Amino acid sequence: MSDKAYNVLFLCTGNSARSVFGECIVNRLGRGRFTGYSAGSHPKGAVHPLTLEILRRNSYLTDGLRSKDWAEFAAPGAPAMDFVFTVCDRAAAEVSPVWPGQPMTAHWGIPDPAEVEGDEVTRIMAFRQAFRSLENRIEIFLNLPLASLDRLKLQRALDEIGRTPLPEGNAAQT
């Protein structure tokens, strides 16, 4: 097993929910082998309050979380990324910056919980489902035998993770 630490960037348009979930989940579940980051093509300027609520309910620290522009990660001196995952269809369709180091990329589209309308329960359930979906995909990713996969096989595995069915309903408490 390799001792290499990997940097993982999650992208969405607003960087207020899904990508922030990805950053936090990788930082916790990656146990130092992976460092998560998040950014947006058109950042909202703040992390969505329901994102912060879901993270706190799951005992994640939220201090220092912020909505960032993806240009920060293409600038000189930025951490070199090993993996870049888009979690929003709009961001996946945009022309992204050139990432130093030619990281592996994949699209792991998750519906935007911030766009869900309705009462508080409906909205919080959308955020819970987005969190669970990303947590599931990230767990699969973190368990890949990265050191033993060539680039082509790894790309196939990353793409397949993006096709992992999303959980339905609200059966699990998050």
| Weakly modelled stretches of the chain, pLDDT under 50 | 1, 170-174
The domain limits of the chain are 6-162
* pTM (predicted TM-score): 0.91
pLDDT of residue 89: 77
pLDDT of residue 92: 60
pLDDT of residue 1: 42
Phi, psi for 164 (deg, rounded to 5)? -60, 130
pLDDT of residue 95: 67
Return the CATH number of 6-162, one of 3.40.50.2300, 3.30.360.10, 1.10.3470.10, 3.30.70.100: 3.40.50.2300
* Burial profile 97-120: b = 16 or more Cβ within 10 angstroms, e = fewer: bebeeebbbbbbbbbbbbebeeee
pLDDT of residue 171: 37
